[in-house]
Chains A and B, each alone.
Chain A
């Protein structure tokens, strides 16, 4: 079953097409990354999926409930951490949580128990009776996560959850995402932190100019741009000339970096045998050889820069 199904979503602001006819599914119990540069339509899409923004066209299903026809049922299934910290500053951390418990119609005792657990988990329990307006950004973000998790939602929406946070807060939040996923929940992570998406996500969508450029598993995306694969080879003793590598099978480009050479190739498997021959012939002293696949960042840049070309190819 899909946790989220979005179909043909359209949202414009004046002449700007913030979201341009996008459709995708998020599988239940997965971590789905939503990547894109600033202004690509990430936040608008997430705000549509969470019921903040009403699109001009399209439909959204959350755990089988239509977001626009059964909003209460659909929203009961989700927890949201928006991009900007939006706790109630005039309420204490505890009051913020109890307010959420009341609007989700939770049993009071159960809510208090869960609130205490979450505050402990996010190291905020000692501050529970402090007004949230005195909290740091990291503390507010952790309190927002507590609020999002209090009702034990099936889907957690996170919009840039670690942006601008200290290392400790980032780590806590990432650990909680993993733990939450282990409990069988679905996570929709909107981020521009590619490394974070790479670490956490099972599937990522890259959005640009309101359109989805690609959706796939991070590993598949990396494979899809094989031409960015490269080998790093380091020599001791005599360092060969750059031109000596130019004729090797499969090598498309060579770059020298100190005693190392970076050999770019679409087919790294072809390069290695011919490289072995060259080493033997030239009596070179090989110190190390690494093959490297493209990083998700390179994939991201590739799809953002070549979106049009990719679409034509696809």
Chain B
């Protein structure tokens, strides 16, 4: 088999995994709760009683939506399939771990991107948010969604057959990220120690890019933010692969 044919087959398999996930997991209760309901509740919590213009909140809401929606599907897939004993079907099939992980990430990415369009469009059409850098915003959005989808896939490598365990771990990671990433307050308004802590969160760079895209100004150099998001993607994907390999060894 030539390299081109092998690559084509590999892409087809990844798409097949992604399609299967789309059909099965988008409507699962944990995905609806954390991917749809939670960002909606967060939006209301932000907007009610704070006396802020909704347009000002668009980058924050977008950040929360991206984090929660993109990482909603990933943590569910592998534990659910282990519980339902369909994971063995994947392991016996001619699919590499890469195909499987990328299929999971892509399905999380598409879900995150789709749902993130809601606050984006609402900000633009209803609240009148001005997007001053459309193309960079789209790139930032795609990178951020891919990054958090990869994080979701990494969480799903937890060697468990109980989806609730993975969802708990996901929340344990996601909630602190919201508070340490300049979502509620712009980074420049955070104390110095909080600013330092915020640098270890990929959400910090995503929200800063969203703010810059709406003309609010950036705290971190935009090229650095793009670069760091890419670095986080690479780390999550490779760490995810190693963690999934370990999980297979532990569980089987």
Contacts and interface: CB of A to CB of B under 8 A. Distances in A.
Contacts of B93: 75, 100, 103-104
Interface string B72-109: 00000000000011101101111110000000000000
Interface string A72-101: 110110101010111111110001000110
Query: What secondary structure prevails in chain B residues at the interface with A?
Result: helix
Interface of B: 9, 12-13, 15-17, 19-20, 23-24, 84-86, 88-89, 91-96, 248-249, 252
Contacts of A53: 252
Contacts of B91: 50-52
Nearest to A100: B93
A51 B24 contact: no
Given A82-B88, A89-B84, A91-B23, A102 B94 contact: no
A52 B92 contact: yes
Contacts of B86: 86-88
A88 B19 CA distance: 13
Residue among B15, B24, B94, B248 having the largest count of chain A Cβ atoms under 10 Å: B94
28 contacts: A47-B252, A50-B92, A52-B91, A52-B252, A71-B94, A72-B96, A73-B94, A75-B93, A78-B92, A82-B85, A82-B89, A82-B92, A85-B85, A86-B84, A86-B85, A87-B86, A88-B24, A88-B84, A88-B86, A99-B16, A100-B93, A102-B19, A103-B93, A104-B93, A104-B94, A105-B12, A147-B89, A157-B92
Nearest to B97: A71
Contacts of B94: 71-73, 75-76, 103-104
Contacts, number: 73
A106 B91 CA distance: 18
A54 interface: yes
A20 B23 CA distance: 42
Interface residues of A, number: 31
B92 A54 contact: no
Given A82-B85, A105-B9, A71 B96 contact: yes
A90 B29 CA distance: 13
Interface in A39-80: 47, 50-54, 71-73, 75-76, 78, 80
